[in-house]
Amino acid sequence: MARVFGLLLILFTCIAALPAAAEEGWPRQVTDALGRAVTIPAPPRRIVAIFSSNVEMLAAIGAGPDIVAIEAWTRWPPDLVARTARIGGRLGFSVEAIARLDADLVVMTPARQAAAGLVDPLGRIGIPALVLTHDRLDDILANIRLLGHATGREAAAAAVADAMGARIAHLGACLKGRPPVPVYMETGSDERGAAFTIRDATYTGDILRAAGGVSVFAGRDRLGRVSGEAVGRADPDRILIAGPPERVPALMQRPGWDGIRAVRAGRVDAVTRALLLIPGPRVVEGAEMLARLLHPDAFAAGGACLMPAEGDK
């Protein structure tokens, strides 16, 4: 009997020493924004997500608990931000710190030289690095699905992307036939009197169009910085400031701006910056927020834009 137990112990020890069997469907390969074929050996459980957009997309598909580090300027979701380690910021990102975290996937965008400084070194130490770009609204939906495939959360990712697409389609249908409202959207300003606005062929431009608006600088995609004189010549019907409400009175008091139609009529509003300038799942909320401002009658009782749940309230 002792000999049998001894043989069983040896057998179990040998089995435990064998490499774990590959999970079904893994390893898998995805193609990132740089055209790189990125191999992910197993479902990632220790993800480093660099930049807010990638954190928000991963959290939306249920991968938030697997995120072990974010960059210093990420603010959403707040519970995830509160519990997660920081990995770099404006001064760059450390490959050594990522390696110490035992990361099994790094998701980033090319901003602030993150991709240039991380992709090759991470490849040399065997950590998969996925680079995403979110230029247009369709890219955001596609990247949510891509992250679903990269993390083994395809169903959750498809549900998120489908719901976002349905809400955007609903806006398009209920605002159909309404003339787009000419909008100047300001994303920032400097002490020299210059201001910054959205470019047309971007996800923010897409959000504005989905909301039934159009930039007064549409078609000038190289434009980002504008003068007060240019805004005056464009004479927008509405002015939207991506920032806190206290910026509204200051804008309305700028020299020469009192002749602009939107300022004369008091049609200047502050809008939540994160819903418009972070390319993640919340951009749909941004589109709905803008639509309510630009076409309030469509959201009034009995309006065409009320979702069924809203109409039942």
Per this entry, what is the length of the chain? 313
Each residue's pLDDT tens digit, 157-207: 999 999 999 999 999 999 999 999 999 999 988 767 678 999 888 999 999
Separation CA 167–CA 149 (nearest Å): 23
Contact 231, 311 (CB under 8 A): no
Confidence at 12, pLDDT banded by 50, 70, 90: very low
pLDDT at 214: 95
Ranges 175-189, 276-290, 293-307: which has the least confidence: 293-307
pLDDT above 70 coverage of the chain, percent: 88
Strand bridging mode 238-242 / 181-189: parallel
Burial class (CB in 10 A: 0-12, 13-18, 19+), 180: middle
Each residue's pLDDT tens digit, 27-48: 999 999 999 999 999 999 999 9
Give yes or no for residue 303 having a pLDDT over 90. no
Give yes or no for residue 7 having a pLDDT over 80. no
The closest alpha carbon to 194, from 219, 221, 231, 220, belongs to 231
> In a 3-state reduction of DSSP, which class is residue 197?
strand
State the chain's mean pLDDT as an integer: 87
pLDDT at 227: 87
| 86-106 average pLDDT score | 85
pLDDT at 75: 92
| 81-92 average pLDDT score | 82
Q: How many CB atoms lie within 10 A of CB 191?
A: 5
Give yes or no for residue 126 having a pLDDT over 60. yes
| 47-73 average pLDDT score | 95
Contact 304, 298 (CB under 8 A): yes
- Torsion, Cα 152 163 240 242, to 10 degrees, reads -20
**Domains and their CATH numbers in the chain:** 24-164 (3.40.50.1980), 177-305 (3.40.50.1980)
pLDDT at 308: 54
pTM to 2 decimal places: 0.87
